[in-house]
Amino acid sequence: MIEAAGREVPLSNPQKVFFPACGVTKLDLVRYYLEVADAILIQLRDRPTVLKRYVNGAGEEPFFQKRVPDSAPEWLQTATVTFPSGRSARELLPNDAAHLVWGVNLGVIDWNPWPVRAPDLDHPDELRVDLDPTPQASFADVRTVALCAREVLSEHGLVGFPKTSGSRGMHINVPILAEHEFGAVRRAALALAREVERRLPELATSRWWKEERHGVFIDYNQNARDRTVACAYSVRATPDARVSTPLEWSEVPDVDPGELRIDTVPARLAERGDPAAGIAAAARPLASLLELVALDEQRGLGDAPWPPQYAKAPGEPTRVQPSRARRQ
């Protein structure tokens, strides 16, 4: 039994190794999340969260469980979300440390919340900038694109909170007033991506189709309904158990993601504090960034592709298969 938030939560097979390369066990993962609980709960509280379960540890493929099982304890807090398909599910609201322990016991390694908070599940309070490098791009390229994105956000009155993704990329969480539906926030993210691409044409791309990408892809579709991103302080399923770690902007030019791991982040948090602690208080209107959407329309730029599982949107471009020459 693990005591957390005034509850005793069962932990089965605590010595099961979740990260073979560095020997981190399920119990080690629980202890990490208890140590950073105050910080990660700032990111998770009242947010519907997908259970990404690595039942055989980080070395195996996970599966996504959107529905809290009926066998779950009665004290778990949940919210019912609606997907683009029209179906719904009761998802977890990880509102205290006991919820974290319960999730890890099921094999959750990283936490993937929606950008909304209960009870308002239709109006995001975050715009998420996901910087995903192509195989040819370096992490230095990612840093450069992140700094450019900060510049664009600042010009439109928005504050970005950067963090390492825990893998090869970076994320910037942008708190916004919960005034717009998912479609508008996604279009604003697309307009941001296109503006960064205009400023850094050799390094950044907003192109959805993989064969058209270069440099660092700015994944605007992470702002579509039902898309989630690993939150700050999530351990990622890398061999060395890296952590998606919030940064001060002054750290971005020199940050080394390999130094931010399950064994180093708790001490960093204790010594430096949480750079993302004030994220909710920094929420700003999205109106100025939405003006970029109007400018794109004046330039003849309409919508961009949606993920394939979404219904075809009006004006969504159709994929044009690359020629044989281009593939070569």
**Main-chain dihedrals φ then ψ at residue 249, nearest 5 degrees:** -60, -30
What pLDDT, on the 0 to 100 scale, is given for residue 52? Answer: 96
Q: What is the mean pLDDT of residues 308-323?
A: 77
What pLDDT, on the 0 to 100 scale, is given for residue 15? Answer: 96
- Comparing C-alpha atoms, which of 177, 218, 196 is closest to residue 296? 196
Instruction: Please enumerate, as own/partner, the contacts of 276-280 that have beta carbons within 8 Å and a separation of 24 or more.
Output: 276/39, 276/42, 276/43, 276/161, 276/163, 276/173, 276/232, 276/246, 277/39, 277/42, 279/42, 279/43, 279/161, 279/173, 279/175, 280/42, 280/125, 280/175
With DSSP H G I counted as helix, E B as strand and the rest as coil, what are the percentages for the chain, rounded to 5?
A: 30, 20, 50
**By the 8 A CB rule, do 213 and 199 touch?**
no
- Comparing C-alpha atoms, which of 215, 202, 200, 193 is closest to residue 139? 215
Residue 315 predicted with pLDDT over 90 = no
Q: What is the pTM of this model?
A: 0.94
Residue 126 amino acid letter: E
Q: Which two tokens stand for residue 289?
A: 């960034």
Q: For the chain, how many residues are written?
A: 328
**pLDDT per residue as tens digits for the range 218-252:** 999 999 999 999 999 999 999 999 999 999 999 99
Percent of the chain with pLDDT over 70: 97
Q: Which two tokens stand for residue 290?
A: 């939405």
Q: What is the mean pLDDT of residues 80-102?
A: 95
What pLDDT, on the 0 to 100 scale, is given for residue 328? Answer: 40
Q: How confident is the model at residue 200 (pLDDT cuts 50, 70, 90)?
A: very high
**pLDDT per residue as tens digits for the range 46-57:** 999 999 999 999
- The CA-based diameter of the chain, rounded to the nearest angstrom, is 64
- Comparing C-alpha atoms, which of 283, 306, 315, 292 is closest to residue 225? 306
Residue 38, Cα to own-chain centre: how many angstroms?
Answer: 18
Residue 327 predicted with pLDDT over 60 = no
